[in-house]
Amino acid sequence: MTLVRRNFLTRAAIAGSVLAAPAVVSAQSKGVFNWKMTSAYGKGSPFYMDGPGSATDLAKRIKEMSDGRLNIQVYGAGELIPAFEGFDAVRAGTVEMNHANSYFWTGKTFAAQYFTAVPFGMNFQGVNGWLYDGGGIDLWNEVYAPFGMVAMPCGNTGVQMTGWFKKEIKTVADLKGLKMRIPGLAGKVYANLGVDVKVLPGGEIFPALERGVIDAAEFVGPFQDRRLGLHKAAKYYYTTGWHESATVSELLINKAAWDKLPKDLQAIVQNASAACNVISEAWCQKANSEAMDDLIKNQKVVAKPLPDSVIAALRAETNKVLAEAVAKDPMTKKVHDSYMAFKAKFDRWSEISEEAYHTKVRG
């Protein structure tokens, strides 16, 4: 009787191990992925590297949502590579991801500009409509396909400020010869109006402005700009946000690495990025409203919109720059036409909805 019982237990144990084996193999087959993500912004930078919706927050969300199957080590600008070398690092496979803004890569492909911000373009709601439901993300990946990369939105600052100026801007003539830190398409527009354009990482802006290496600088908005101390180096703070009405943060991913991820991990990255896109913009609304009050009331900053004549000149020059870019490159034309067609529909709807609210209801 004892022998029979032992044989039964042995057979049961063997059967149990066989039945359990597929579950073990299945779990192991999913694998654990350890990736590196660099940034164009320094370690600890609010919004970009620290806080709700930042690169660090994104990595944390992905790790938690994947139950530790996708772990991303985040590096600030200069820790692993220089600030503006993320595109080449991801393309080469040196790192799997980079967190920055696509307009830093306009030297690689002009069309990249449209996926950060277009001067006189759409606001946060509009650009998200185009990206998620108007074919924008598909075009983004089409632009990057020749480079072996994919991308998606992972943050947004909302409307940015025009920037800080040491001297008051009264006419277009005041821009001529001005040395200004400004990236992207807006930099090209300014350059065509006589501005000496500089592209500097965030950490270098204040010392350059303070020492007179530059006369003006654009960064993000009240909270970020105050943190850099820009109000201590210049007192004229111009509004309108003509150049970046909704500035998208880009998650850039090496395509070969992306293709190795299981579908569920790809979905986790996409959903975590979409969450950070919304969460980061919400944080900006609170942080900027409080910082702007402080800058005006306590720091004695002079905040006002650019003169209408300057805005008109910037708009006219923007149209020329875009027309030239579209004429030179079929891919840029394809992205441009898609963006502007969506914008035309969005503008008509916005006039009936958002603008009517602001002028008739909010008072």
Tell me the average pLDDT across 158-171: 97
In the numeric block, which tokens belong to residue 248? 């998208």
Confidence of residue 358 (pLDDT cuts 50, 70, 90): confident
In the numeric block, which tokens belong to residue 345? 């529909």
- The mean predicted confidence, pLDDT, of the chain is 91
Question: Using one digit for the tens of pLDDT, what is the confidence trace for 228-243?
Answer: 999 999 999 999 889 9
Sign of the dihedral defined by the CA atoms of residues 240, 242, 248, 250, in that order: negative
List every span in the chain annotated with CATH 3.40.190.170: 31-155+246-286
Q: Which helix (H) or strand (E) holds 75?
A: strand 70-75
Confidence of residue 16 (pLDDT cuts 50, 70, 90): very low
Global confidence as pTM: 0.88
Sign of the dihedral defined by the CA atoms of residues 83, 84, 90, 92, in that order: negative
Local structure of residue 7 (DSSP, 8 states) = H
List every span in the chain annotated with CATH 3.40.190.10: 163-243+298-328
Whether 147 shows a pLDDT value over 90: the answer reads yes
Annotate 314-337 with b (16+ C-beta within 10 A) or e (fewer).
beebbeebbeebbeeeeebeebbe
Whether 14 shows a pLDDT value over 80: the answer reads no
Taking the C-alpha atoms of residue 184 and residue 119, their distance in angstroms, rounded to an integer, is 10
* pLDDT reported for residue 292: 97
* pLDDT reported for residue 359: 80
Tell me the average pLDDT across 119-146: 98
Taking the C-alpha atoms of residue 11 and residue 9, their distance in angstroms, rounded to an integer, is 5
Whether 329 shows a pLDDT value over 90: the answer reads yes
- State the CATH architecture for 31-155+246-286: 3-Layer(aba) Sandwich (3.40)
Whether 303 shows a pLDDT value over 60: the answer reads yes
Confidence of residue 362 (pLDDT cuts 50, 70, 90): low
CA count, 13 A, side-chain hemisphere, 263: 0
Q: Which CATH code of 3.40.50.300, 3.30.2350.10, 3.40.190.10, 3.30.930.10 fits the domain covering 163-243+298-328?
A: 3.40.190.10
Question: Using one digit for the tens of pLDDT, what is the confidence trace for 54-106?
Answer: 999 999 999 999 999 999 999 999 999 999 999 999 999 999 999 999 999 99
- What percent of the chain shows pLDDT beyond 90? 87
Sign of the dihedral defined by the CA atoms of residues 265, 272, 99, 330, in that order: positive
